Structure 1
Amino acid sequence: MPSLNKILLFLSSALATAISVLVLGFSMSIQWVETTMDCTSSGSSFSNGSAVVTLSLFDGTMTRIHCPFFGGQDDFEVFPQLAGIGGTPLVLHGLVVCVLVLCLLFSACSILISLYNSVSNPYETYMGPIGVYVCSSLSASFSVVVLLIFAVNVNNV
């Protein structure tokens, strides 16, 4: 039977990591960026209206306000739109998605290691606290990398 101290240590670690996974999952599901663009007729610097472009991780929305010849709202998928542009934005956005998957993977490993260690023998741990620290720190580090890559990608487009 594991000690109460060991159980509480690893269960609190699993709970903290589960909360961070919920925050990461929520932030992946909401809009990531919103920008306003002016609509101009070709060859003119006169602005007739504006369009608001909102991006989330996989889809986006363009809402046109008083643009010439069209208005309303268009929904689009981010990857095909970026493929039309080509080059760096598509690669960076794909890299963001892949690194986010790695964040979730390392967080899941941290939770599983913590839960296993909370119920294992008192003198036996699987990777111990070091495994939890490594998985959690990799997940946190990749989260920071995602924020930096996404900021570069949005400024690049």
Structure 2
Amino acid sequence: MPSRKKTLHFLSSALATCIAVVVLGFGMTREWSATTMGCAGSVNGSVEGSAEVTLELFDGILKRDVCPPFGGTSQFQVIPALLGALTPCVLHGLVVCFLVVSLVFSASSILISLYNSVSNPYQTCVGPQGVYVSSSISACLSVVAMIVFVLNVSFTDMTKQLVWSVAGTSDVELRDASSQMLLGFYLVIPYAACSLLAILVIYMYDHAAYTHRREQQRPTEDAPKEIMMY
């Protein structure tokens, strides 16, 4: 059976990762960004208006003021609405995939931590190294997902494509787009932080255990001369 100290550290790591999973799972159901843009077109004469696109990972809302081509609010699914735009669609798909894979590795980290809390496995993929690898991949992929999402919203025509697709027309000019990130996006930060915390907790135990082993296996040349004489 593992020592009480080992059990405590690995259970703490599992708890930190569980919190991370809950946070990210909640964040994936919240709004990630809101983009407002002006638009102009020709519907029974020249018209001016605005459009606001609010995005979750899977669904979105388009609010139109006069243009395009009339006012109203429309709900849509993000990926189907982006099928006509290859680059934004692929990038958004990557964001979702990165987050899903992050959750999978977080689940792996939880299982490894729980296993170590009740047993003494060898220093292999089911030992501390397993937690290091799983939680590191989770944190890294989630940060990459944040970066890709920002790039997709800010530097591609993703939001314009969504407006044209949902409104059913591209006969309008969209300009002066302004985007801001919302709650779902920022919840990735505490997810990554909790994943790193899980690594830190295990590292503290692993380092203390390594130091203790070194002290127990101290070479004979470090022994006092009086002892070596006998």
The two structures have a TM-score, normalised by structure 2, of 0.62
What secondary structure is seen at the aligned counterpart in 1 of 2:28?
Answer: helix
Residue in 1 that maps onto 2:121: 124
In 1: Cα distance, 2:118 partner to 2:5 partner: 12
**Which residue in the other structure is 2:35 paired with?**
35
Higher RCO (CA-CA < 8 Å; seq separation 6+): 2
One-letter amino acid of the counterpart of residue 81, structure 2: Q
Q: Say yes or no: does 1:112 pair with 2:115.
A: no
Cα distance 1:53–1:4, how it changes in 2: closer, same or farther (>3 A)? same
Q: Identify if the C-alpha distance between structure 1 residues 109 and 53 changes in structure 2 by more than 3 Å, giving closer, same or farther.
A: same
Instruction: Summarize the Cα distance change of 1:68–1:30 in structure 2 as closer, same or farther, 3 Å threshold.
Output: closer
Equivalent residues of 2:51, 2:68 under 8 A apart: no
- Normalising to structure 1: TM-score of the pair? 0.88
Partner SS for 1:40 = strand
Deviation sequence 1:59-109 (CA, Å, 0-9, x none): 11011124476222100111111102x221111111111111110010000
Deviations 1:111-152 (A, max 9, x none): 0000111111xx435621111111101100001110111111
Rg larger for: 2
Aligned-pair Cα RMSD in Å: 1.9
Q: Distance in 1 between matches of 2:148 and 2:68?
A: 35
Aligned to 2:97: 98
The alpha-carbon deviation at position 49 of structure 1 amounts to: 2.3
Q: Distance in 1 between matches of 2:150 and 2:69?
A: 33
The answer to whether residue 28 in structure 2 is matched with residue 2 in structure 1 is no
Shift of 1:25: 1.0
Shift of 1:42: 3.2
Kindly provide the CA deviation profile for residues 20-52 of structure 1, in whole angstroms up to 9, marking residues without a partner as x: 111111211111110112131239xx7632121
Identical pairs, percent: 59
Q: Which runs of 5+ in 2 are unaligned?
A: 158-230
Paired with 1:34 and 1:68, the residues of 2 have a C-alpha distance of 17
Q: Structure 1 CA distance, aligned partners of 2:19 and 2:80?
A: 33
Q: Contact 1:38–1:47 (CA<8 Å) still a contact in 2?
A: no
Corresponding residue for residue 140 of structure 1: 139
Correspondence for 1:55: 55
Question: Partner amino acid for 1:40?
Answer: A
- Return 5+ residue gaps in structure 1 as ranges: none
The 3 A distance-change label for structure 1 pair 112 and 78 is same
